[in-house]
Amino acid sequence: MSDTFRALVLEEVEKGVSATIQEVKNSLLPKGDVTVSVSHSTLNYKDGMVVKGIGRLVRNYPHVPGIDFSGTVEASTSNDYAVGDKVILTGWRVGEAHWGGYAERARVKSDWLVHLPKNLTEQRAMTIGTAGFTAMLAVKELEDHGLTPKSGPVLVTGANGGVGGVAVAILGAAGYEVHASTGRPELEGHLKSIGAREIILREELDILPERPLASERWAGAIDAVGGKTLSSILPQIKIRGAVAACGLAGGADLNTTVIPFLLRGVKLLGIDSVMCPFKEREAAWARLASGLTPSTLDALTEIVPLEAVPELADQILKGKTRGRVVVKI
């Protein structure tokens, strides 16, 4: 193991946060019982916020961002992971409160890791990444509340984003009729190629129904947007349907009434992928590995070098990326 490693380092400056590639000493790695040689990470909306210093998600600098990674164990004092094991990390506030995956080396707690499923490569695991893991938790939560392909159409918002794109692919592969909402109609062909049956323009969901209950359109929904979009969806969910909420790019406010919950039994399900228990993580990754084909994952993937992250952080915050941006370390 070399004495230094290459990393994207954030530092506080007078006008915000700077992001530069640096050689970092091993002695600066945080505490943990497993050291990982990182091969791939991803670019998520939260990464964009962290890299651009938005929302005070990071309190201590200098900082290495990157909320997920895949790689190979280099050193371990854990009984669960040995040198040479392939591993994945998502969640646990890594990349925010703890140094993350935009580096050649990471040191973390073994409790935060899962073994890489045998039929996934490290690159494809990060095509899934935090966004895909969140999408799978949302699908599982809806199914636990009774959703099946026979229930009716399922809406996915933010369908060109990370969570939305993988959600479309998961649901499409499982036989659901997927309605995908997007603000980029020029990508209709891409969305249909990964599993969408119908495309809904984002502007349609920016308009709140005039009444607390509107026509029943969807048996369920995965909402990665929040704000007006979520407020618009709830009155249009079928009786006994559910909405899995897993994003707030459109805002944190929710303008609704209790009527959909009381008169239709609609359920609003919050998805927490950050502190998700190990057994649930393991089950989600097993289904992701078996339920998505390599060709589907590759169709979602754009591979970029670590040096491209600062510029792409701007783009993801403006909604200009597509699918999953995988960072090759």
Instruction: State residue 324's pLDDT score.
Output: 93
Q: How far apart are CA 90 and CA 42, in angstroms?
A: 10
Instruction: State residue 208's pLDDT score.
Output: 87
Identify each DSSP E strand in 4-80 by its residue range. Answer: 4-13, 16-25, 34-43, 68-76
Q: How far apart are CA 131 and CA 139, in angstroms?
A: 12
The model's pLDDT over 120-156, given as tens digits with 9 standing for 90+, comes to 999 999 999 999 999 999 999 999 999 999 999 999 9
30: Cβ contacts below 8 Å, ≥ 6 apart: 98, 99, 107, 108
Q: Are 98 and 63 in contact (CB under 8 A)?
A: no
Instruction: State residue 207's pLDDT score.
Output: 87
Instruction: State residue 63's pLDDT score.
Output: 98
The model's pLDDT over 183-237, given as tens digits with 9 standing for 90+, comes to 999 999 999 999 999 999 999 998 889 899 999 999 999 999 999 999 999 999 9
Which helix (H) or strand (E) segment is 142 a member of? Answer: helix 122-144
Q: How far apart are CA 118 and CA 4, in angstroms?
A: 30
Structural domains of the chain, ranges and CATH numbers in brackets:
4-116+293-328 (3.90.180.10), 130-270 (3.40.50.720)
C-alpha distances out from residue 124 to 81, 110, 121, 283, 326, Å: 21, 22, 5, 17, 9
Looking only at the bridges linking them, the beta strands covering 324-328 and 34-43 are antiparallel
C-alpha distances out from residue 161 to 84, 111, 119, 267, 324, Å: 33, 29, 25, 24, 7
Q: How far apart are CA 294 and CA 74, in angstroms?
A: 27
Q: Are 208 and 186 in contact (CB under 8 A)?
A: no
End-to-end CA distance of the chain: give it in Å, rounded: 16
Instruction: State residue 193's pLDDT score.
Output: 94
DSSP-based three-state secondary structure for 133: helix
Q: Are 133 and 288 in contact (CB under 8 A)?
A: yes
Q: How far apart are CA 7 and CA 101, in angstroms?
A: 9
Which helix (H) or strand (E) segment is 135 a member of? Answer: helix 122-144
Q: How far apart are CA 117 and CA 289, in angstroms?
A: 7
